[in-house]
Each structure stands twice: as structure tokens, then as C-alpha cells.
Structure 1
Amino acid sequence: MIPFRAALFSSLVLLAAPVCAHETAGKYGGRVSDAGPYHVELVTKGQTVDVYLLDGSEKPVPAAGFKATAILVVDGKPARVALAPADANRLTGQAQVPLNAAPKGAVQLTAPDGATASGKFN
């Protein structure tokens, strides 16, 4: 019989594993998160916010027709950044203030067909 503490620890590790695996490093220098059927890679530099759209196989998805908003934590407060298609698979926008290289927050996507999805960044 497995001791209670060992069983509890194992359960917590198994529950936490999907959360930890949720965010990975991306090929554009940012962090990648699941957003519904897509993967989104968040890259910030200064006040510029770039989000790259990828499919489940990490292949680029054309950004044309997508709308997005990045909601990032800046000095403990939410900062909303409207993102618009720029080129290829990139959506871009400008924050009101400089951002660090790995801000916490989320990206909310609206696909051309009206479907919505969100990717979280911790």
C-alpha cells in the first residue's frame, strides 16, 4: 500500500505537469503557449509586442484576418496592447510603456472565422 503522503505528492506532480509543459521556448526568441488549435509565440522588445501564429505542428499560420490583444502585467497592472497583422505569421502592436523580455499575461486571438482562443504566459 502506498503511504498517503507519497500518493498525495504523486497526484500533485501529475496535476502540475500539464501546466509546466504548457509554455516552451520558441524559434523567434520568445515563449510559446497553446491557444486553442494554435500556438502563439510572444516576443517583446522595448514597447514592441510581436505574436507569431503557429499550428499544432509549429508551422506558420498566416496572420491575415486575425485580430488579437495582448494583456500583459506591467508594474503589477494590466496593460492592453492591440495587435494587428504585420507580415507572414506575425501580429504586432505597441505598448504604452517599455516591457521586460518575458512579461506575464495572456494573448487573446480572434480567428478570421470568429473563433476565439487565449494563450497564457507565466
Structure 2
Amino acid sequence: MMFARRTLAAGILAASLAPLAAWAHEPQRGPNGGQKVDLGSSHAELVAEGNTLRLYLFDASDRPLPASGATAQAVVLAGGRQATVALAPSRDNLLEGQGDFTAVRGMRAVITLTLQGQRPAQARFTPMDQN
């Protein structure tokens, strides 16, 4: 009987925390209007317009993180086609690149980012599908 009560209590607790866990990992809109997600130990915001990707970098406290020395690559799936886009530091906390794609609703991008002196980190984006 004691085991059943503990199991029931654990189940209720897990069910009540599930929406919080989903909310915590839900992509957010960044200050530049793009989709912002966790990327390694930092945050990144992806903005897609036309055939251009802009990746803004932020530290864990959402302060701009310098892009100098960083490298990134995006694998973009848009319009039934796949394109690889190299992103290079442009200014401040921004990496940019252009590729053979057009930003459309439903597109997906997998970004691999390497910050200077760190291991590569990956994140998935759906930049055109935000609420």
C-alpha cells in the first residue's frame, strides 16, 4: 500500500511538471525577430530571409557574444531541397551566409557552431515557423 501511494505521488508530480519541461525547451523569439534556442553553453538566434541566414550569438545571460573566431555551418532543408551554408563572422555577435535556398515556412536548419577554443555544438531551428 505504501509503495502504491509513492508510485501514485511520483506519477502525479511527473505529470504536473511535464508542461514546464516542454515550455523550458520551446524556442523563443530573439531580439532580432528570429528563433532563439540553446546552442551549447550559449544561445543563438537564427534569422532567415531570402537566401541569407543570420546567426546572432548570446552568452548564457543573453548578452551579445563576440562572433570573432567563431565558425558555423548550416544544413538547410527548404522547398524539398537541401543546401549547405557556411556562416562567417560579420560584425559584433553576428555570423552570416548565403546559400542555394529560399526561406519558406516549414524550412529547417541544423547549425553546427564552433566558438574559439570550444568544441562544436549543434542546434535545430525552424526559423519561419514561429508563433
- Specify every segment of 5 or more residues in structure 1 that has no aligned partner in the other structure, as ranges: none
- Report the Cα offset of residue 18 of structure 1: 3.5
Indicate the structure with greater strand content.
Answer: 1
Q: 1:100 aligns with which of 96, 101, 104?
A: 104
Count how many residue pairs are aligned between Structure 1 and Structure 2: 118
Q: Quick check: which has more Rg, 1 or 2?
A: 2
SS in 2 for 1:99: coil
Q: Over aligned residue pairs, what C-alpha RMSD do you find?
A: 2.6
User: Which residue of the partner structure matches residue 115 of structure 1?
Assistant: 119
TM-score using structure 2 length: 0.76
Deviation per CA, 1:25-76, whole angstroms, max 9, x where unpaired? 1000100010111101000111110000001111000000000011221123
Task: Tell me the distance in 1 between the aligned counterparts of 2:22 and 2:93.
Answer: 26
Q: Distance in 1 between the 2:113 and 2:83 partners?
A: 16
In percent, how many aligned pairs have the same letter? 34
1:90 offset after TM fit, Å? 0.2
Aligned residue identity for 1:66: A
Native 8 Å contact 1:68 1:108 kept in 2: yes
2:75 to 63, 71, 74: 71
Answer 1 or 2: higher relative contact order, Cα 8 Å, separation at least 6: 1
Q: d(CA) in 2 for partners of 1:72 and 1:19?
A: 25
Q: Which runs of 5+ in 2 are unaligned?
A: 127-131
Equivalent residue, structure 1, for 2:24: 21
